[in-house]
């Protein structure tokens, strides 16, 4: 298969995953009806946010974690027919083989990088890994490593910082072993002991904290009695979103990033602790296809900016964006809610107006 054919095959099966502190990639396995990803992507969370090409953001339960092999399994959406992809045979993987790593690096949807296998059996901390020269970046974690036959031969796991495209994927043999181990405990929260590989479930955990086989302390992916709350400005932003009727869990896009929809407009909120500003950007629509309408559109945007208080209309490449910004020390729950309320209301208003009056095109989304 060509790289393009592999991308098209996997695009409907690739899942974006986000928590309060991280983002990553997962992939759906129809054979087991589970989403596979890295354990470090889900962290200590029993629930994460997932999204895919065929479905909007939603909450997914974490059922299985395995810290030693860096694996986790999630509940897939029940109302969506996701693509079927196949697991390959690790025994047939060899050095020099061409592979494709698929994921969401830095939030860029469905990115694929091609490379070759440098070494099949690279051992690290007692676990075999496939060393590859295909670029694996933050956000790629948990995505599939695919051979030219379109089969999954590994799970993209980590890189060596400072290395020149030194990426490592967990072999598919470990993944299949974990999937088969969990099959008889479907629907139960479970974790694999990182000391003895025993599968710990609620019915056999010792004193709610320890592996019954070797006594190592373990943690099941169970929802906490009290949800871990953000602190600082992130706490303020999430309180504002709740005040405005948004589902905070679904809004989370990793550390200090949130995204919501208002009408057809997609709104991204970001807090950058390095420059101390909270910014909201509502992506409205794209420039009109009729170039004769672009000049009057620009004139309209400039005239509207004179009227707007605390908001700015601008063009970023082909996109028309409505933005707001506030210094973190100035933001309170009250004035922040006023600012974002105005952003949400105006975003929906301008999105409809620009398409109707100037022929602006719908925003392209992946």
**Tens of pLDDT along the chain (366 residues)?**
888 899 899 999 999 998 888 889 999 999 999 999 999 999 999 999 999 989 989 999 999 999 999 999 999 999 899 999 999 999 999 999 999 999 875 455 677 888 999 999 999 999 999 999 877 766 678 999 999 999 999 999 987 766 566 889 999 999 999 999 999 999 999 999 999 999 999 999 988 899 999 999 999 999 877 777 788 999 999 999 999 999 998 998 888 999 998 887 889 999 999 899 999 999 999 999 999 999 999 999 999 999 999 999 999 888 999 999 999 999 999 999 999 999 999 998 999 999 999 999 988 664
Instruction: Output the pLDDT for position 109.
Output: 66
Instruction: Output the pLDDT for position 107.
Output: 55
Cβ 263 vs Cβ 337: under 8 Å: no
Q: Where are the alpha helices (DSSP H) in 226-332?
A: 232-243, 248-251, 294-307
Q: Where are the alpha helices (DSSP H) in the chain?
A: 3-10, 39-42, 172-183, 232-243, 248-251, 294-307, 333-358
Closest C-alpha among 152, 101, 111, 110 to residue 131? 101
Domains parsed from the chain with CATH numbers: 1-224 (2.40.10.120), 232-358 (3.30.1460.10)
Instruction: Output the pLDDT for position 4.
Output: 87
Copy the structure tokens of residue 7. Answer: 């991308």
66, 70, 253, 281: the catalytic one is: 70
From CA 39, how far away is CA 16, in angstroms rounded? 14
Instruction: Output the pLDDT for position 336.
Output: 96
From CA 251, how far away is CA 45, in angstroms rounded? 16
66, 69, 104, 141: the catalytic one is: 141
Active site residue 303: no
40, 118, 194, 247: the catalytic one is: 40
Active site residue 70: yes
Active site residue 314: no
Instruction: Output the pLDDT for position 287.
Output: 94
Instruction: Output the pLDDT for position 322.
Output: 96
Cβ 100 vs Cβ 85: under 8 Å: no
In angstroms, the Cα distances linking 101 to 50, 54, 176, 254 are: 20, 21, 18, 22
Contacts for 130 with CB less than 8 Å, ≥ 6 apart: 93, 99, 117, 119, 120, 122, 145, 153, 154, 168, 169, 170, 171
Instruction: Output the pLDDT for position 141.
Output: 87
């Amino acid at each position: 298969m060509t790289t393009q054919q592999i991308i098209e095959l996997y695009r409907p099966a690739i899942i974006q995953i986000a928590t309060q502190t991280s983002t990553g990639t997962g992939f759906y396995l129809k054979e087991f009806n589970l989403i596979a990803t890295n354990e470090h992507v889900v962290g200590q969370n029993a629930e994460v946010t997932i999204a895919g090409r065929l479905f909007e953001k939603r909450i997914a339960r974490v059922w299985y974690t395995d810290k030693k092999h860096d694996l986790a399994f999630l509940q897939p959406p029940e109302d969506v027919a996701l693509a079927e992809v196949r697991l390959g045979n690790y025994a047939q993987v060899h050095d020099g083989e061409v592979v494709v790593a698929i994921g969401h690096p830095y939030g860029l949807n469905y990115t694929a990088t091609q490379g070759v296998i440098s070494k099949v059996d690279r051992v690290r901390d007692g676990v075999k890994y496939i060393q590859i020269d295909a670029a694996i970046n933050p956000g790629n974690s948990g995505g599939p490593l695919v051979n030219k036959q379109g089969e999954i031969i590994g799970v993209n796991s980590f890189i060596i910082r400072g290395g020149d495209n030194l990426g490592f994927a967990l072999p598919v043999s470990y993944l299949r072993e974990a999937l088969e181990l969990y099959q008889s405990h479907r629907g139960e929260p479970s974790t694999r002991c990182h000391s003895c590989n025993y599968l710990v479930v609620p019915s056999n955990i010792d004193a709610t904290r320890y592996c019954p086989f070797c006594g190592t302390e373990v943690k099941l992916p169970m929802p906490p009695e009290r949800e871990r709350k953000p602190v600082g400005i992130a706490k303020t932003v999430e309180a504002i979103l709740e005040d405005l009727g948004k589902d905070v869990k679904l809004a989370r896009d990793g550390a200090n990033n949130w995204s919501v929809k208002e009408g057809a407009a997609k709104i991204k909120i970001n807090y950058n602790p390095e420059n101390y500003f909270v910014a909201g950007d509502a992506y409205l629509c794209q420039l009109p296809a009729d170039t004769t309408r672009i000049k009057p559109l620009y004139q309209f945007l400039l005239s509207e900016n004179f009227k707007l208080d605390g908001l700015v209309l601008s063009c970023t490449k082909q996109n028309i964006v409505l933005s707001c910004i506030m210094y973190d020390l100035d933001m309170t729950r009250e004035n922040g809610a006023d600012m974002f309320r105005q952003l949400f209301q105006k975003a929906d208003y301008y999105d409809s107006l620009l398409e109707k009056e100037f022929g602006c095109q719908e925003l392209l989304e992946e």
